[in-house]
Structure 1
Amino acid sequence: MRSARRVGEVAARNHLPDLLMRRRLTALLLACLALPLPAAADAVTVFAAASLKEALDRVSADWEAESGHDVTVSYAGSSALARQIARGAPADLLLSASPEWMDLLEAEGLLVPGTRRDLLGNRLVLIAPAPAAPVPLGPDLDLPALLGPDGRLAMALVDAVPAGQYGKAALLSLGLWEEVAPRVAQVDNVRAALALVALGEAPLGIVYATDAAAEPAVAVVAEFPPESHPPIVYPVARIAGGAANPAADAFLAHLAGDAAQEAFRAHGFAPLPG
């Protein structure tokens, strides 16, 4: 009996290294399976102005289906996106609603030389909750009266976000800014200003024509004269500093192609000649 027990102990000791090795390999395999998969090398990350959402979502989806590459788009105000890129946020492309923020990044050497181009144009409009009658936009317009005793004029940040900057410039040009400035509700981006009007939280707002077209709960009551503000231009460029990404280069070229330009036009943007 003792002899048999000793034989069993010896056999167990002989199999112990194999057992431990199998357990270690199993643990290693499970640990590897738990690790997140690396991002695809041919994925494209785009930072884009909030006003581009519907149009760029369509353009991106069409290109994904055609090319097989993934496109991830982060939407926000152009100023916020430019600051994120300046702080090192990983982006392949920036599509801004203002040349000013692209100029700042270019001055810092954060754009790939030769990739910047003016892609799109837009228009600036005054909106109200739908339905609403047109108003005579001009120096004689009594904006405070239209806002009512407690109403606010919804605008993107007037000193930072392009839609707010264009809107302030237009109101200054028409001589309407000083009287309405205390009644302005400033928000982070143009889509937030659109939402305030769409929800009835503000009786009037200043947004792009493309934003108004995307929201059935608002009506355009006036369009600002193009000469009342700087031209609304959307530049696009490749961001420097990251690894080479041929898919990002291909998507940049696609944005200027006929199919993408037609999609932008269908959403109310004005494609610009390259």
Structure 2
Amino acid sequence: MLNIKKYIRGIICFGFALILTLITQVFSHSKLTPVAQAAQTEIIVSAAASLTDVMKAIQPIYQKEKSDIKLIYNFGSSGSLQQQIEQGAPVDVFISAAPKQINELQEKGLLLDETRKDLLKNEMVLIIPKGESTIQRFEDLTADTVTKIAVGEPESVPAGKYAQEVLTSLNIFETIQPKQVYAKDVRQLLSYVETGNVDAGITFSSNAKFSDKVEIVATAPPESHSPIIYPIAVVKNSKNPEAAKGFLNFLSSNTAKSLFERYGFGLAN
């Protein structure tokens, strides 16, 4: 008799537990689904590799101000970014490290002409690994003890083209050409010097400013190379041209200008 009572009590307890579980599930499914957040508008920005650090610093500031915007960056050499745009890659904004790439895209009708403007300027410098002292000026690169000099690939990396101009102006290009080690972009160039894989490198001032592994030993005379200008424009096939224009306007704001200067860039205007 006692066992029967325990059995019945067990069934009752199990029944109550089952009912409570069902009630909980019903209420959990009957709760109102929160209103989904509005989808953010994505702006894809293709920017020269030398802009990597400053653009990453700008990203959270802009997205805080424009919570409906999501910035997506694509960094690389200006030449490779140009090719991507020519091949139809989804890009809203292009920032080149030289006018050449922007000019060619504009000639092909791939940019919104009215959005083009000069954004930044830069300098060319000679850098060496921290702690080395045998190289102090560009002319020292001709010494027999200097065997490897990092430069950007001149056809696709603007810094490489500017370096070529500097060396030609100083009448040492032919002498050191066999020593040149080509980098796919200025980030790779900096890495070559930081790791001591080369004796020196020629790059943008902004590219070396914050590295604690290299030393800037000389700045190229301004007249030794073409003006280093970073133009910007909205790509004609942008899916969000108005949002892209809004981002361009922000890059000309005092907030953005102070960041550019902090990261070693000059202002074009």
Asked whether the 8 Å contact 1:112–1:238 carries over to 2, the reply is yes
> Does the CA-based 8 Å contact 1:147-1:153 persist in structure 2?
no
What CA distance in whole angstroms lies between the structure 1 residues aligned with 2:227 and 2:94? 19
Q: 1:240 to 1:134 in 2, by over 3 A?
A: farther
> Match of 1:70, SS?
strand
Residue type matched to 1:106 in 2?
Q
1:181 is aligned to 177
Structure 1 residues 25-104: aligned runs within 5 Å: 40=39, 42-68=41-67, 69-104=69-104
Q: Give 1:186's aligned amino acid.
A: Y
CA contact (8 A) 1:122 1:233 kept: yes
* SS, match of residue 239 in structure 2: coil
Task: Write the letter of the residue equivalent to 1:145.
Answer: A
Post-superposition offset of 1:219 = 0.4
Question: Contact 2:43/2:240 (CA < 8 Å) preserved in 1?
Answer: no
For the residue of structure 2 that corresponds to 1:193, the secondary structure is helix
Q: Which string of whole-angstrom CA distances, capped at 9 and with x for unpartnered residues, describes residues 202-239 of structure 1?
A: 11001111111121110011111111000100000000
- Residues 117 and 233, structure 2, Cα contact 8 Å, conserved in 1: yes
SS where residue 54 of structure 1 aligns?
helix
The offset of 1:134, in angstroms, is 8.1
SS of 2:114's partner is: coil
- Tell me the distance in 2 between the aligned counterparts of 1:135 and 1:129: 10
SS state at 1:186 partner: strand
Supply the distance in 2 between the matched residues of 1:198 and 1:266 (Cα, whole angstroms).
Answer: 22
Q: What is residue 137 of structure 1 aligned with on the other side?
A: 137
Which letter does structure 2 place at the counterpart of 1:119? L
SS across alignment from 1:181: helix
Structure 2 Cα separation of the partners of residues 269 and 152 of structure 1: 27
Q: How many residues align?
A: 231
**SS state at 1:215 partner:** coil
**Unaligned residue ranges in structure 1 (runs of 5+):** 1-38
Asked if the contact 1:133/1:221 (under 8 Å) is kept, the reply is no
Query: Quick one: distance in 2 between partners of 1:146 and 1:213?
Result: 28
Q: Distance in 1 between matches of 2:108 and 2:136?
A: 43
Paired with 2:63 and 2:113, the residues of 1 have a C-alpha distance of 26
How much does 1:59 deviate? 1.3
1:226 to 218, 222, 225: 222
Q: Deviations over 1:131-177 (max 9, x none)?
A: 24485536xx24132653xx310011023310000000000000010
Query: What stretches of structure 2 of length at least 5 have no aligned partner?
Result: 1-37
What is the identity, as a one-letter code, of the residue corresponding to 1:211? N
What residue number does 2:7 align with? none
Task: Give the AA of the match of 1:189.
Answer: D
Decide which moves more: 102-111 or 55-64: 55-64
- 2:239 aligned with 1:240, yes or no? no
Q: State how far apart, in whole Å, the 2-side matches of 1:159 and 1:81 are.
A: 13
CA contact (8 A) 1:41 1:245 kept: no
RMSD: 1.7
One-letter amino acid of the counterpart of residue 60, structure 2? A
Q: What is the rounded CA distance, in whole Å, between the counterparts of 2:136 and 2:72 in structure 1?
A: 42
How does the TM-score come out when normalised to structure 1? 0.80
SS of the residue corresponding to residue 115 of structure 2 reads: coil
The 2-side partners of 1:270 and 1:126 are apart by 18
Say whether 1:252 aligns with 2:251: no
Instruction: Report the more deviating stretch, 231-240 or 242-251.
Output: 242-251
